[in-house]
Amino acid sequence: MKSEKDYTDAFSPRSIISLVTLIVFIGILIWLSFNVHIPEPAVLREMIQGYGWAGWLVFIGITALIAITPIPVTIPALVAGSLYGVIAGSLFSFTGILIGSWIGYWLARFTGQNLTFKLLGRHGPTVKKYLSNAGFLAMCTARLMPGLPYWPVNYGAGALGVSQSAFLSATFIASIPGQVSLVALGAFAVNQSLFNGIVLVTAWITVLVSTWISYRYWRKMRN
C-alpha cells in the first residue's frame, strides 16, 4: 500500500505542475511532428527573405523551435550558409541551437526524470549512459557522438540534473564544429570561393577529430 507521504507527494503542487507540463509538452511535440514539416532549402530561403531585415530574427526563432523537437537541424543550418555566408550564418544558426537547447533543458527540469525518460523512448538508455553524474567533458562527449540527436541530450541533461553551467558551456563549445560544418556546406553550395572551401574542409576535419576524441574518452571512462 502507498504510504500517506507517497499519496501527498503524488498530489503535491510540483507533481501536478510537472504532469500538466509534460502533457502539454508531449501534445506540442506530437502536433509539430505531424503538422510541421521543414520545407525544402529553396522554399525556406524564400520565406525568410520575405521578412526583409527581420529575416535573421525569424531564422533564429525557427532554428530554436526545431531544436526542441525531434526534427533534424540540418536544413536550417544549410539555409543559413546559403543566405548569410559562413560567419553570419554560423552565428545565427548557433544562436538558435543554443536557445532551443536551453529551453529543452529547462522543460525537462520541470517535468522530472521519470516522465522525461518516458518521452525519450529508445534514446533514454543511451542518454542515461552518457549523462548520469555528467560534467563538462561528458556533456561534450554526448554532443559530439554520432547518431545522438540534439533533443534527447537537452532533455536528458535537464532530467538527470546536469548543472546549467556544464550544460551551457559544453553545448556552446561542442556545437560549434557541427554547426560551422553544415553552414559552410550551405555557403559553399552557392559560392565556391577559396575561403568557403577552406572553412568547409577545416570544419569537417574538426568534426571528425572531435568525434574520435570524444569516443575514445567515453570508452576510457566506461572501462
pLDDT cut 70: percent of the chain above it: 77
pLDDT at 170 (0 to 100): 87
pLDDT at 7 (0 to 100): 42
Q: How confident is the model at residue 10 (pLDDT cuts 50, 70, 90)?
A: very low
Radius of gyration over every alpha carbon of the chain, rounded to an integer in angstroms: 19
Q: Is the alpha carbon torsion for 84, 49, 149, 115 positive or negative? A: positive
Nearest to 203 by CA among 192, 218, 188, 223: 188
Average pLDDT, the chain: 77
Nearest to 140 by CA among 99, 169, 106, 100: 169
How high is the pLDDT of residue 34?
A: 46
pLDDT attached to residue 92:
93
pLDDT over threshold 50, residue 6: no
Is the C-alpha dihedral spanning 86, 91, 93, 97 positive or negative? positive
Question: Which residue would you say has higher pLDDT here, 100 or 25?
Answer: 100
The mean-pLDDT minimum among 67-76, 145-154, 155-164 falls in: 145-154
What is the C-alpha to C-alpha distance for residues 149 and 138, in angstroms, rounded to an integer? 15
Split at pLDDT 50, 70, 90, the class of 198 is: very high
Q: pLDDT, tens digit, for every residue of 27-78?
A: 555 555 545 556 566 667 777 877 787 888 888 988 888 888 777 778 888 8
* Residues near 66 by beta carbon (within 8 Å), at least 6 away in sequence: 38, 72, 73, 76, 96, 100
Flag whether pLDDT at 152 surpasses 60: yes
Confidence of residue 115 (pLDDT cuts 50, 70, 90): confident
